[in-house]
Structure 1
């Protein structure tokens, strides 16, 4: 189900996945079965999202992020993919973030680029993750 007020360019989203209003979903991302993409979420092109993933409102999933199966991303989680961001200057390659199967990332957490969050890890609300967990 893709809400009529979502801007969804990707034509390969499974019917079991729900994309709610005011989401922006780029054309070349990969999104699995039975996901719930809540309102006001942005998903860029070079993104892989597994099955049974929940992404709550206010999350931007930038290029280079991989989210495996059964992951929960709380509201207003912030991901970064550029260690030294500058306006209109882009790195040759964005930093990767991998969130392994069954992990949960609490509301308002900040996940820096280059990080792997391990299988079934629990990141508490408001955390700043600067190294692998």
Structure 2
């Protein structure tokens, strides 16, 4: 695929029919399948696999050897650390109940959504069907099996909540409930007050 609006390393493959936004850089051994959509000013690291029908927003940074399978939607401003793996089938099998190799029509894709500004630490595994909220922070090596609320820090296997974080990814202090059931906290690092849904 030839374009002057984005960069593709000579050892990367971007299939015909993929959409890539201006200013995006795709590094060596990455593979972007047909019908995948990638926004503007993204960085797609070495060895990243982006399957068909995956949607990636703008200003997303995807580190080396990440696997994004069909059904995954990543909003703007997300960070995905190296070796993160998204699943997309709740009941995976290579064969049908009668022993035939499954075809594309036999797969039941379960969607996953990563919302604006979230960060996923290195080596984490995201089980399909979850939503990761805005500015949530997933610790390295975590197994995410359920939804993560906005601004929530989770880690572990399975991942569980360990407090709340600011837009700058530092822990929030004095988190308390305010009007309409929302949470409010104060960042001692950048001095920013945060109000977000629980």
What TM-score bracket applies, with the shorter chain setting the length?
Answer: over 0.9
Q: Normalization by structure 1: what TM-score?
A: 0.95
Q: Normalization by structure 2: what TM-score?
A: 0.65
- Distance in 2, matches of 1:118 and 1:100, equals 5
**Partner in structure 1 of residue 51 of structure 2:** 44
Which structure: greater strand fraction?
A: 2
Deviation per CA, 1:80-121: give whole Å up to 9, x if none.
Answer: 111121114354530101000000000000100101000000
CA drift of 1:2 comes to 0.5
Name the count of aligned residue pairs: 133
**Which stretches in structure 1 are left out of the alignment for 5+ residues?**
none
In the TM superposition, what are the counterparts of 1:7-86 in structure 2 within 5 Å?
7-10=13-16, 12-86=19-93
Q: Could you tell me which of 91, 95, 104 is aligned with 2:119?
A: 104
- Distance in 2, matches of 1:25 and 1:73, equals 16
- Distance in 1, matches of 2:131 and 2:20, equals 25
Deviation per CA, 1:20-63: give whole Å up to 9, x if none.
Answer: 00011111011000000000001011111000001111111100
Deviates more, 1:112-121 or 1:90-99: 90-99
Greater Cα radius of gyration, structure 1 or 2: 2
CA RMSD after TM alignment: 1.3
**Which stretches in structure 2 are left out of the alignment for 5+ residues?**
1-6, 95-100, 149-198
Give 3-state SS (helix, strand or coil) of 2:40's partner.
coil
4+ long deviations beyond 4 Å: none
**Highest RCO, 1 vs 2 (Cα 8 Å, sep ≥ 6):** 1
